[in-house]
Structure 1
Amino acid sequence: MDSYLIQVNGQGDHVPLLDIHLKSNGNSMSLGKVKGRKPRWAVRASEMSKKTFNPVRAIVDSMKVEPNPKKAMISLSLGDPTVFGNLPTNDEVTRAMKEALDSGRYNGYAPSVGYQSCREAVAAYYSCPEAPLEAQDVILTSGCSQAIELALAVLANPGQNILVPRPGFSLYKTLALSMGIEVKLYNLLPEKSWEIDLKHLESLVDEKTACVIVNNPSNPCGSVFSKGHLQKILAVASRQCVPILADEIYGDMIRDGLLRLSQRILGPCTIVQGALERILHRTPPDFYHNTLSILKSNADLCYAALSAIPGLQPVRPAGAMYLMVEIEMEHFPEFENDVEFTERLISEQSVFCLPATCFEYPNFFRVVITVPEEMILEACSRIQEFCEMHYQGAEGAQDLECDK
């Protein structure tokens, strides 16, 4: 077979024509002048976009399940307390937002870190003698998601790793991987009300660990760590010299970096900033107390109802808006995993619970407890009917396995 060597002759930055010579077995032949290639469109997605993956969206969006048309849909999947109207926004907050909008004072650009007066208001609200805050300690963001993104970006470089709870809020992993940061998952222990497995956590730390994320109260678990457990977490972080990202800005050592990163955008919503001081100081304490009372009542009701269902093991929550339920899969052998279980729950009973595979924790599902009481009772009744229909005792499950 002939071998060819292509020689390209030409000088300068721009060579419109190429002189190509082919050498075949030592004999040279010229093809003469040919026109250079025309530029072609090659608009490609960025590496960051290719690395961005949200497991909740990937799993939920792939569910092609129609609910039972004979039963009204009950969604216990979305963590939005306003959807069902039983946890309305306080009137003081609404009035503060309207007045800020009507004033016309907050329609322009604000400093990227937030208005100075707003930062002062937040600092004063959260400051305490043990941990005093000043305005310069506060950076306002467009929601918690942007705060998490800023904190991760200032703490970690591509190639480093962060420690993330399992089960845990999926956005941590989504943001980290998009930035080229490795994610290591440390275990939470359901038998200990989702406390951190501290030995496992510490075993994951290496020279490339940039921070450990502590989500407390937890999404999806609804757990709240005791003071003693928090002190043990601090001891691990101190021993390993690893900072903690606890859904808040991490300390003075990275403040300057955060200031620079905050300038990548135009800052948080100015109308909210205009209403912020009033929201912080005029929202009555009863609003928070009543909201917490509703959530506690719903959590107790849901926990009690689900505990009575064979094949399910709920873990009692202590905070947030969520409750995690273990599926004893050995008693539901017709389902491969929690995703199949929840899909069938939708199609047969029109109850939508989020499979915990979304949170890196298979064979559980998450229930949102912000819905009205009567809806919780109806949903739990349907879940019970579903489980009773598909539940197999130890003997039945074994026979089914043998039939496969």
Structure 2
Amino acid sequence: MKDLKDLTAIKLKAYTPVKSIRTSWNVPISDFARLTHNPIRAIVEGLKIVPNPDKQLIALSIGDPTTFGNLKPAPEVVEAVRRVIEDGSSNGYGPSNGFLEAREAVAEYVAHQGAVTPNDVILCSGCSCSLDLCISALAGAGQNILVPKPGFSIYRTLAEGFGVECRYYDLMPEQNWEVDLSQLETLIDGNTAALIITNPSNPCGSVFSKSHLKAIINIAEKHFLPIIADEIYEHFVFPGYEFHSVSSLSEKVPVLSCGGLTKRFLVPGWRMGWIIIHDRDNHFRDVRKGLANLSARILGANTMVQGALPDILRNTPTAFYDDLVSTLYRHAEIAYKSIKQIRGLRPIMPGGAMYMMIGIEIERYPEYETDLDFVQALIAEQSVFCLPGQCFEYPNYMRIVLTVPEEMITEACKRLTEFCEKHYKMDDRIILQQQNGLLARMNQY
């Protein structure tokens, strides 16, 4: 024991920089804390969110399907947790990667992704924790990861604290948000650690076709680039579209697939996510160890929910899922059909998830310089709150959520129409052309 203490002292002496003793209060933060920030929160906190006092606020900005109480978990889900609480079987710590029974249930649940065993499953504290572990295991300071633009800001939040650069590959709105494959490939260099694919997409609601996913995977294979597949919305797919997991299409590229209970089961606060390791050729042998090490930092995910997980995944009726997707699709259609009639706005109909991106022809609203100004004025006049596109690295767009009650969607579209008609301005040349056309028609009579 004495030798061990001596060895520890030698190591500390070798690696600990000498600092002078503090003579006053000066408590700095770590580089990790200093570099970490949430772009959405920073932008939203900078907005002047002062709703019209005469109109009830309609928040189309919150990506939490439980906010308004219209979408509730299935009774079977609630009952599964109640049983675990009452029998007290899951009150203690569990293995850092999760209880075996829970991992077995997840492996069964994600069988459509390919051959999965319980040893390929790591349970996490929500899908954001899953993404955190994946990025942390694959990338370090001085490296970069490839993320979509527009895309979910959490990738940047998780990466930059480690000194990992986010390089943005373009999604093309005119092609239902497919990836610009040529531009994507130009971003890859020797320091690129991983490619993140979000499918279905937040914020776009797009669903990639099988052929498009294969084209993306081919680029990753060409450059020996592992993939992190953010597939939390994999079951939120509207009629006419089909979901294909990245892992089911990849023959050689190793994939870390991230999912969880959050959205499909309408329990985001229960914080239950998972990582599925897909690795046919054992390229992730060290990554597996790294993920195990990292999962031990929080001593495992919520054990109460783990205890209920087998019943949740096996007993929730298909009708519950179908009703949820039908509701979101109906809301998407209502919003799209209404907003596409508004001058100066260009909605893009989603193929899944629970969001819609809307282009703003900002030059038609000369009172506002940016999407931030537009959104802020919309709140002040109409008490409708949409997230500006800058939250997703995509200016002159805004994102709405489709989970609010149907009457709120309808009312929000009505207010949006009123706002845009009030502030829309046509180009002088267009006005002149319309006036000339009117005069020509009058002269015919």
TM range (shorter): 0.7 to 0.9
**Partner residue of 1:146?**
129
Q: Which among 119, 127, 141 is matched to residue 136 of structure 1?
A: 119
**Partner residue of 1:60?**
44
Shift of the 89–396 alpha-carbon distance from structure 1 to 2, 3 Å rule, reads: farther
Instruction: Return the alpha-carbon distance in structure 2 between the equivalents of residues 396 and 145 of structure 1.
Output: 49
Larger radius of gyration: 1
**Partner residue of 1:116?**
100
What pairs with 1:333-344 in structure 2 (closer than 5 Å)? Answer: 333-344=366-377
Root mean square deviation, CA, Å: 1.7
Measured after TM superposition, the shift of residue 397 of structure 1 is: 9.8
> Which shows bigger deviation, 144-153 or 62-71?
62-71
Instruction: Return the alpha-carbon distance in structure 1 between the equivalents of residues 127 and 195 of structure 2.
Output: 17
Offset from partner CA, 1:102-135 (integer Å, 9 cap, x none)? 111111111111101111111122125x721111
Q: Which among 278, 281, 288 is matched to residue 251 of structure 1?
A: 278
Shift of the 50–294 alpha-carbon distance from structure 1 to 2, 3 Å rule, reads: same
**Structure 1 letter corresponding to 2:26:** A
Matched, 1:187 2:170: yes
Shift of the 102–386 alpha-carbon distance from structure 1 to 2, 3 Å rule, reads: same
**Partner residue of 1:238?**
221
**Structure 2 letter corresponding to 1:332:** Y
Asked if the contact 1:67/1:346 (under 8 Å) is kept, the reply is: yes
Asked if the contact 1:332/1:397 (under 8 Å) is kept, the reply is: no
Asked if the contact 2:389/2:397 (under 8 Å) is kept, the reply is: yes
**Structure 2 letter corresponding to 1:43:** V
Measured after TM superposition, the shift of residue 386 of structure 1 is: 0.3
Asked if the contact 1:355/1:364 (under 8 Å) is kept, the reply is: yes
Instruction: Return the alpha-carbon distance in structure 1 between the equivalents of residues 344 and 156 of structure 2.
Output: 31
Measured after TM superposition, the shift of residue 38 of structure 1 is: 6.7
Asked if the contact 2:338/2:413 (under 8 Å) is kept, the reply is: yes
Instruction: Return the alpha-carbon distance in structure 1 between the equivalents of residues 144 and 396 of structure 2.
Output: 27
Matched, 1:326 2:359: yes
What pairs with 1:5-404 in structure 2 (closer than 5 Å)? Answer: 39-128=23-112, 131-247=114-230, 248=257, 249=275, 250-252=277-279, 253=284, 254-395=287-428
Offset from partner CA, 1:308-337 (integer Å, 9 cap, x none)? 000000011001000000000110111010
* Number of aligned residues: 364
Asked if the contact 1:351/1:379 (under 8 Å) is kept, the reply is: yes
Shift of the 37–373 alpha-carbon distance from structure 1 to 2, 3 Å rule, reads: closer
Instruction: Return the alpha-carbon distance in structure 2 between the equivalents of residues 71 and 127 of structure 1.
Output: 48
Offset from partner CA, 1:169-188 (integer Å, 9 cap, x none)? 00001110011101101100
Instruction: Return the alpha-carbon distance in structure 2 between the equivalents of residues 241 and 301 of structure 1.
Output: 43
Asked if the contact 2:364/2:427 (under 8 Å) is kept, the reply is: yes
Measured after TM superposition, the shift of residue 40 of structure 1 is: 2.9
**Structure 1 letter corresponding to 2:224:** C
**Structure 2 letter corresponding to 1:159:** G
Asked if the contact 2:116/2:278 (under 8 Å) is kept, the reply is: no
Shift of the 158–251 alpha-carbon distance from structure 1 to 2, 3 Å rule, reads: farther
Instruction: Return the alpha-carbon distance in structure 1 between the equivalents of residues 128 and 155 of structure 2.
Output: 9
User: 1:184 aligns to what SS in structure 2?
Assistant: strand
**Structure 2 letter corresponding to 1:62:** G
**Structure 1 letter corresponding to 2:183:** H
Identity over aligned pairs, percent: 51
Instruction: Return the alpha-carbon distance in structure 1 between the equivalents of residues 87 and 47 of structure 2.
Output: 46
Which segments of 5 or more consecutive residues in structure 1 lack a partner in the other structure?
A: 1-12, 14-35, 400-404
User: 2:171 aligns to what SS in structure 1?
Assistant: strand
Offset from partner CA, 1:69-96 (integer Å, 9 cap, x none)? 1111101000111112221111000111
User: 1:50 aligns to what SS in structure 2?
Assistant: helix
Asked if the contact 1:333/1:397 (under 8 Å) is kept, the reply is: no
User: 1:246 aligns to what SS in structure 2?
Assistant: strand
Asked if the contact 2:355/2:400 (under 8 Å) is kept, the reply is: yes
User: 1:139 aligns to what SS in structure 2?
Assistant: strand
Offset from partner CA, 1:122-172 (integer Å, 9 cap, x none)? 1122125x7211111000000011100000011111110000100000000
Offset from partner CA, 1:322-358 (integer Å, 9 cap, x none)? 0000000110111010000000000000000000100
Asked if the contact 1:331/1:397 (under 8 Å) is kept, the reply is: no
Instruction: Return the alpha-carbon distance in structure 2 between the equivalents of residues 267 and 94 of structure 1.
Output: 22
Measured after TM superposition, the shift of residue 64 of structure 1 is: 2.2
User: 2:212 aligns to what SS in structure 1?
Assistant: helix
Instruction: Return the alpha-carbon distance in structure 2 between the equivalents of residues 92 and 324 of structure 1.
Output: 34
Asked if the contact 1:306/1:312 (under 8 Å) is kept, the reply is: yes
**Structure 1 letter corresponding to 2:103:** R
